[in-house]
């Protein structure tokens, strides 16, 4: 069973909770804009304290090629700046979100390794993903990272830069390895950008620039913008109330009003019953769910908490089983990786829209 990566940027807010039935329980900050010397939104990763590992080879920082107008580029986020002097050739991604940004940009040939999937890589990128070495099912050790001699490390969550994994970004920088932490993964909440389509695309701009392919980010923005325009015209969620059920049984961990789930629900025109909670995800409570009696329940599906297990809990509980959406089986399932800010979020919105259109009518 895959365990859940520590989502330090998704800290739960404390909410009073009420358990029904007998079922068993198991920010805002400025986002930098890319420019030359070039300053781009990059993050605080830090590969394995490479310099601190006995016998670990320090990465040799390449000199900037004066004929390459894309470099050097400074990438900054979460209070850390790395200078990338040449296009990475041995990059490592340490979370699925980071991996899929690189795959979506068609830059997999610049990867020396990847690690930590939450769920399946989508078919459109599967062939590219299969060509990249997998260093570990979850986080690799320092030693595993050292072996591939990375020249760039990119992660979605701050937990990737713990001492036991990549080490601090500062130690990586000292060893000559540039790094990037998604701005949404900043440990300090005040440094995180508010979640919006623009802030998502700005991260993709940053990665494309760091890899020496800024034009690919522009193409990606246009494709996703066109898709969102189509979803708005369709309005599959117009007039519907929704519970976004991420995980948890005693206390439901739900999509709140400031993250990926809310962007998806806004894109399809639906109303989130927990939109008043801060952050991307938060602790809700079953009493409010029963009071709201949502028209639809969106279920996040991940290796650590399957959608079918959540459905079983809802159908077994004597109170929750009487919800309109449960009785009518008005469930929408979405991979967890399509609910987080990143390259798959628009695809998640498209999937939710299509599933809403196919739901059975409420009796």
Domains of the chain: 39-226 (3.40.50.1980), 235-357 (3.40.50.1980)
Q: Does pLDDT of 24 surpass 70?
A: no
What are the backbone dihedrals phi and psi of residue 195, each rounded to the nearest 5 degrees, phi first? -80, 120
Looking at residue 58, the DSSP 8-state letter turns out to be P
Average pLDDT over residues 248-270: 97
Query: Which phi and psi (to 5°) does residue 83 adopt?
Result: -105, 120
Per-residue pLDDT at 62: 62
345-357 and 260-268 helices, crossing angle to 10°: 50
Residue 69 pLDDT: 87
pLDDT of 240 > 80? The answer is yes
SS3 135: strand
Write the pLDDT tens digit of every residue in 151-181.
999 999 999 998 889 999 999 999 899 999 9
Q: 10 Å Cβ neighbour count for 59?
A: 21
The whole-chain average pLDDT of the chain stands at 85
* DSSP sequence for 243-291: EEEEE-SSS-EEE-TTSHHHHHHHHHT-EETTTTS-SSEEE--HHHHHH
**Average pLDDT score over residue span 5-26:** 36
Going by pLDDT thresholds of 50, 70 and 90, the confidence category of residue 61 is low
Mean pLDDT to the nearest integer, 288-294: 98
Of 164, 153, 118, nearest in space to 137 by CA: 118
The dihedral sign for the CA sequence 311, 315, 320, 323: positive
Determine contact, residues 274/292, Cβ cutoff 8 Å: no
Q: What would the DSSP string read from start to end of 98-126?
A: HHHHHHHTT-GGGEEEEE--SSPPPHHHH
Report which DSSP code applies to 136: E
Q: Residue 37 gets which letter from DSSP? A: S
Rg from Cα positions in the chain: 21
Residue 23 above 60 pLDDT? no
Please tell me the predicted confidence (pLDDT) of residue 304: 84
Instruction: Using DSSP bridges, classify how beta strands 241-247 and 111-115 pair: parallel, antiparallel or unpaired.
Output: unpaired
pLDDT band at 118; cut points 50, 70, 90: confident
Mean pLDDT along residues 29-47: 39
Does the pTM surpass 0.75? The reply is yes
């Amino acid at each position: 069973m895959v365990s859940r990566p520590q989502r330090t940027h998704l800290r739960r807010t404390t909410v009073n909770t009420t358990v029904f039935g007998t079922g068993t329980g198991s920010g805002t900050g400025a986002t930098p804009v890319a420019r030359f010397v070039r300053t781009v939104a990059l993050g605080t990763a830090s590969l394995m304290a490479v310099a601190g590992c006995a016998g670990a080879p320090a990465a040799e920082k390449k000199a900037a090629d004066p004929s390459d107008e894309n470099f050097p580029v400074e990438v900054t986020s979460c209070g850390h700046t790395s200078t990338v002097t040449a296009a990475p050739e041995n990059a490592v991604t340490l979370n699925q979100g980071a991996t899929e940004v690189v795959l979506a940009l068609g830059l997999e040939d610049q990867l020396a390794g990847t690690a930590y999937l939450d769920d399946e890589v989508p078919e459109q990128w599967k062939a590219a993903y299969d060509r990249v070495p997998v260093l570990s099912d979850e986080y690799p050790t320092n030693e595993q990272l050292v072996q591939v001699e990375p020249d760039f490390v990119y992660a979605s969550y701050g937990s990737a830069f713990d001492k036991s994994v990549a080490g601090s970004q500062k130690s990586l920088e000292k060893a000559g390895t540039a790094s990037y932490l998604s701005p949404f993964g900043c440990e300090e909440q005040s440094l995180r950008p508010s979640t919006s389509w623009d802030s998502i695309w700005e991260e993709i701009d940053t990665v494309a620039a760091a890899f020496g392919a800024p034009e690919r980010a522009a193409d990606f923005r246009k494709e996703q913008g066109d898709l969102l325009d189509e979803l708005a015209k369709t309005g599959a969620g117009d007039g519907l109330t929704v519970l976004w059920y991420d995980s948890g049984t005693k206390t439901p961990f739900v999509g709140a009003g400031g993250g990926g789930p809310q962007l998806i629900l806004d894109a399809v025109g639906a109303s989130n019953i927990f939109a008043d909670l801060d952050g991307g995800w938060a602790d809700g409570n079953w009493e409010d769910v029963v009071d709201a009696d949502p028209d639809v329940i969106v279920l996040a599906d991940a290796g650590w908490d399957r959608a079918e297990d959540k459905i079983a809990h809802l159908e077994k509980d004597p109170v929750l089983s009487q919800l309109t959406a449960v009785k009518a089986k008005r469930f929408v399932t979405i991979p967890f990786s399509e609910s987080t800010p990143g390259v798959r979020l628009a695809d998640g919105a498209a999937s939710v829209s299509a599933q809403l259109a196919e739901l059975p009518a409420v009796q």
